[in-house]
């Protein structure tokens, strides 16, 4: 049975929040993703794992609209978004972070996170001049939400610093904040812990779990650290050479012989190269 997590309780629900059906993406003769079908339950953490080049990021790029599938369909809450533009998909409630940090280096932490509110801003440039009071009120409301996220992510002491001056782990946290500023229904995280030390990974894992528990945000996570994946995921999907080879609970995936051969190795738990 599908489930929706509210705090620590589990509430039954039938319709998946996100579903892909036979999704493929070809680049010439290269089949980056081939015939992948997934059904993501509302409020769960789903990890997507696989060797380098397995098609994980290409799958996220199709969900977020950066790539258009060669074939297959993608639906958000039953609505077909297969050919929707990234901006339209973001407006519908899908946010993401990137494998390579994509912050504006010269902008402060606060301003970078504020950019994530753009889909909620109704006052355009012209109306800002004509209805200054309305635009100013809207700006203050968005600023208040951003300040809440800064507190949540424990970034208070660096809120006015340029993002370029921050250590790598904190820049990753700021990028998470910018994605959360969209108030997404579905949050796509592409290697959010890549390049981090152990302490930074533990902090990021804690924030991901708190986002899921406090706001019920559905999370699709690409991550190479198998210890993290097995600890925080509700379910795991395994890709190999663009195809889905397994899906299930972390325990199911760990013991799947095909997954062990393709990815995990005989030990069942390791960090991928």
| pLDDT tens profile 62-92 | 999 999 999 999 999 999 999 999 999 999 9
Total-model pTM: 0.84
Query: What is the per-residue DSSP string for 108-170?
Result: BHHHHHHHTTGGG----HHHHHHTHHHHHHHHHHHHHHHHHHHHHTT-GGGTTSBGGGS-HHH
| pLDDT tens profile 135-192 | 566 677 778 889 999 999 999 999 999 988 899 999 999 999 999 999 999 999 999 9
Burial of 164 (0-12, 13-18, 19+ CB in 10 A): exposed
Q: How far apart are CA 217 and CA 148, in angstroms?
A: 16
Q: What are residue 225's phi and psi, to 5 degrees?
A: -80, 105
Considering the domain delimited by 1-93+184-273, tell me its CATH architecture: 3-Layer(aba) Sandwich (3.40)
Q: How far apart are CA 219 and CA 55, in angstroms?
A: 18
Domain positions in the chain are 1-93+184-273, 103-181
Average pLDDT of span 49-61: 94
Nearest residue to 54 via CA among 240, 191, 229, 224: 240
pLDDT at residue 265 in the model: 60
| pLDDT tens profile 87-136 | 999 999 999 998 777 777 888 999 899 888 876 665 544 444 444 455 56
Average pLDDT of span 21-32: 96
3-state helix, strand, coil in the chain (%, to 5): 40, 25, 35
């Amino acid at each position: 049975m599908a489930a929706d997590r509210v705090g620590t309780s589990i509430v039954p629900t039938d319709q998946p929040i996100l579903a892909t059906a036979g999704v493929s993406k070809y680049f010439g003769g290269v089949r980056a993703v081939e015939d992948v079908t997934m059904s993501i339950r509302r409020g769960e953490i789903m990890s997507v794992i696989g060797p380098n080049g397995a098609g994980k990021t290409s799958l996220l790029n199709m969900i977020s609209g950066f790539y258009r599938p060669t074939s297959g369909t993608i639906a958000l809450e039953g609505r077909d978004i297969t050919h929707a533009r990234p901006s339209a998909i973001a407006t519908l409630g899908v946010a993401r972070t990137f494998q390579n940090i994509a912050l504006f280096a010269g902008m402060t932490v606060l301003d970078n996170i504020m950019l994530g509110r753009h889909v909620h801003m109704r006052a355009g440039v012209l109306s800002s001049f004509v209805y200054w009071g309305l635009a100013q009120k809207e700006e203050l409301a968005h600023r208040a939400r951003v300040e809440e996220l800064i507190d949540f992510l424990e970034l208070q002491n660096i809120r006015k610093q340029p993002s370029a001056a921050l250590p790598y782990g904190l820049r990753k946290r700021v990028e998470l904040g910018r994605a959360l500023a969209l108030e997404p229904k579905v949050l796509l995280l592409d290697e959010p812990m890549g390049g981090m030390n152990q302490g930074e990974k533990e902090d990021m894992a804690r924030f991901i779990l708190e986002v899921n528990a406090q706001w019920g945000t559905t999370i699709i996570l690409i991550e190479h650290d198998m210890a993290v994946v097995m600890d925080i995921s509700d379910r795991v999907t395994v890709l190999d050479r663009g195809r889905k080879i397994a899906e299930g609970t972390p325990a199911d995936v760990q013991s799947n012989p095909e997954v062990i051969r393709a990815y995990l190795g005989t030990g069942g738990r390791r960090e991928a190269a």
